[in-house]
Copies of this chain bind each other. A is one copy, B any other.
Amino acid sequence: MDVFEAIAEPSRREVLDLLAERERPAGELVAHLHRLTQPAVSRHLRILREVGLVEVRPDGQRRIYALRADRLMEIENWISRYRKYWPRHLDALEQHLDQKGPRE
């Protein structure tokens, strides 16, 4: 399983979104993904761990999961070559710049 496959799964993207806000113990993730059972979430976390998109830190009986966003650059690097084909007014790069202000 590679990063592309890992993020193809909606529940796993949801996990990453949750971890983007802050690191969380596994149980908290299970609570948010209430459609899935605890083992199912645990399995998704294993996959995210294996591809390096999250890292785990033990905290007593809990396991704290944290995002490792740098692994997403593999996606970014691939997709970046397509930006030039996008309509300019929807170019996320431009939006990003507008958001941050020129040359922050």
Contact = CB atoms under 8 A, between A and B. Distances in A.
B69 A20 contact: no
A73 interface: yes
Interface string A42-82: 00000000000000000000000001011011011111111
A79 B74 CA distance: 11
A104 to B, nearest CB: 11
Contacts of A96: 80, 83, 93
A86 B103 contact: no
A101 interface: no
B72 A82 contact: yes
16 contacts: A4-B7, A16-B82, A17-B81, A20-B81, A20-B85, A67-B82, A67-B85, A69-B86, A70-B86, A72-B86, A73-B86, A73-B90, A75-B75, A76-B83, A79-B79, A80-B95
